[in-house]
Amino acid sequence: MDLNLDGKRAIVTGGSRGIGLAIARGLATEGVDVVIAARSAERLEAAARTLADETGRRVIAIPTDTGDDDQVRQLVERTVAELGGVDILVNSAATPWSAGSPTDLTATTDDIVRREIEIKVLGYLRMARAVAPHLVEQGWGRIINISGLGARQANSIAQTIRNISVSALTKNLADELGPKGVNVTVVHPGLTRTERLTDRLTAQAEKSGSTVAELEAGLTTNSVRRVIDAREVADVVTFLASPRSIAITGDAIAVGGGVPGPVYY
């Protein structure tokens, strides 16, 4: 299937590693020129060079803190100046949710919730606010927000709040921007094989004597009984970024390999 993405222009935040980097690679492979944004300039530049070499597309690294509205606006202005416009926004910049973070009522302080919302919710809002006028003006665009299956589980107050908030943002944007040619969707990854997960399991394997594959297998509780790779998440996002996805907007797409038991409708 031709996704009709050749020549489109995208911004991917959180694009220096993990799911964001996999999405940038997926888009560039389909002919999209990509701006990747993240806070770490050195890692970002290295990722951009690698993607450009692999795909032959323009891949531009723009260090950006999406917690800063001025930096967000500068990111979008530079993208438009260098690529001639913007068609796709993938919001993937977020502070990783770490094991051991507070989960219960007593330990969940105001500051913990504010920290979680600042980048993953308000950062996404800032990016959408800066990009949307360009999409509306040209009458076409895609915004994909990366959230997480934590939106469907009450494992942590702060984690659930931030992921559900991304879903609420997505639906509001979809209803407002849909009549103007812009589709907005939210993607919920579950446990995903990224550099971060591999590094963690490698360290555990060295201590335990188990292999990384054995440790990974012990984590699989999804329907397909294996860990989903970041590239497989990127495949779904790449489709959603394409003109072929016109029938999908405002909805959540789960990409965790299936959750046994509950029926979502």
Which CATH fold topology does 9-191+230-254 show? Rossmann fold (3.40.50)
Average pLDDT, the chain: 95
Q: What is the pLDDT of residue 46?
A: 97
Structure confidence at residue 94 as a pLDDT band (50, 70, 90) = confident
pLDDT score of 160 more than 80: yes
Total residues belonging to the chain: 265
Mapping DSSP to helix (H, G, I), strand (E, B) and coil, where does residue 251 land? coil
Contact (Cβ atoms closer than 8 angstroms) between residue 160 and residue 176: no
**pLDDT of 110 above 90:** yes
Mean pLDDT score, 17-39: 97
The answer on pLDDT for 100 being more than 80 is: no
Mean pLDDT of 7-23: 97
Per-residue pLDDT at 164 exceeds 80: yes
pLDDT in tens, 49-62: 999 999 999 999 99
75 falls in which pLDDT band (50, 70, 90)?
A: very high
Percent of the chain scoring above 70 in pLDDT: 98
CA distances (Å), origin 244, targets 145, 218, 233, 234, 238: 18, 37, 17, 16, 10
Question: pLDDT at position 7, please?
Answer: 97
Mean pLDDT within 225-242: 97
Q: Is the pLDDT of residue 99 over 60?
A: no
Neighbouring-strand partners of residue 91 = 145
Cα three-residue angle 140-56-58, rounded to 5 degrees: 50
Rounded to whole angstroms, the Cα distance separating 180 from 46 reads 36
Domain with CATH 3.40.50.720 in the chain: 9-191+230-254
Q: What is the pTM of this model?
A: 0.95
CA 74, 146, 263 angle in degrees (round to 5)?
Answer: 160
pLDDT band at 153, cuts 50/70/90? confident
Question: SS3 for 132?
Answer: helix
CB 47 within 8 A of CB 35: no
Q: What is the pLDDT of residue 95?
A: 81
With a CB cutoff of 8 Å and minimum separation 6, the contacts of 98 are none
pLDDT digits (tens, 9 = 90+) for 166-224: 999 999 999 999 999 999 999 999 999 999 999 999 999 988 888 999 999 999 999 99
